[in-house]
Amino acid sequence: MMGRTTALSVFFALLAYAAGAWLTHDFQIWTAEGARRLEVALAPVPAPATPLHGPGMADTPLPRLLTEGGGVTIVDFVYTRCQTVCLALGSTFQQLQATIQEGQRNSPAGAKSAGGVKLLSISFDPAHDDPAALAAYASRLRADPRIWRFATARDATALRPLLDQFQVVVIPDGMGGFEHNAALLVVDGKGRLVRIFDYADMDTALAWAQHLAATQTHTAKAEGSAG
Partner 1 sequence: MKRRMSALHTAGRWLARHQILLGGLLLAALLVPPLRRALESGMATHMLLQFPALIVAGGLLAAGLSPAWRQRLDACNAHGMAGLVFAALVLALAMVPRLLDLVLVDARIEVLKLAGLLLCGAALRLTWQAAGTVVQGFFLGNTLPMMAIAGTLYEEAPARVCNAYRLDEQQFVGLALIWVASALAALWLAQVGWRLTRPYTPAAPKAAR
Eight-state DSSP code of residue 154 = S
- The helix/strand/coil state of 219 is helix
x/- letters, 10..29, toward partner 1 (CB under 8 A): --xx-xx--xx--xx----x
Among 39, 144, 179, 201, binds partner 1 (CB under 8 A): 179
Encode 68-101: b = buried (16+ Cβ within 10 Å), e = exposed.
Answer: eebbbbbbbbbbbebeebbeebbebbbebbebbe
Q: Should residue 165 be labelled a site residue for partner 1 when binding is judged by CB under 8 A?
A: no
144 binds partner 1 per the rule CB under 8 A: no
Out of 50, 73, 181, 216, point to the residue binding partner 1 (CB under 8 A): 181
- Span near partner 1 by CB under 8 A; candidates 7-15, 89-97, 134-142, 148-156: 7-15
Phi/psi for 57 (5° steps) reads -145, 115
Residue 34 sits in the site that holds partner 1 (CB under 8 A): yes
Q: What is the CA radius of gyration of the chain?
A: 21
Task: Name the phi and psi angles at 63, rounded to 5.
Answer: -60, -35
Binding to partner 1 by residue 31, rule CB under 8 A?
Answer: yes
Determine contact, residues 79/162, Cβ cutoff 8 Å: no
Residue 30 touching partner 1 (CB under 8 A): yes
Of 6-14, 75-83, 87-95, 150-158, which segment contacts partner 1 by CB under 8 A? 6-14
From 173, 203, 218, 219, residue interacting with partner 1 (rule: CB under 8 A): 173
Residue 197 CB, nearest approach to partner 1 (Å): 14
Please, what sign has the CA dihedral across residues 160, 163, 167, 168? negative
Residue type, 98: A
- Phi and psi dihedrals of 193, rounded to 5? -70, 115
Asked if 5 is part of the footprint of partner 1 (rule: CB under 8 A), the reply reads yes
Residue 42 within binding range of partner 1, rule CB under 8 A:
no
User: Would you tell me which residues interact with partner 1 (CB under 8 A)?
Assistant: 1-2, 4-5, 7-9, 12-13, 15-16, 19-20, 23-24, 29-35, 167, 169, 171, 173-174, 179, 181
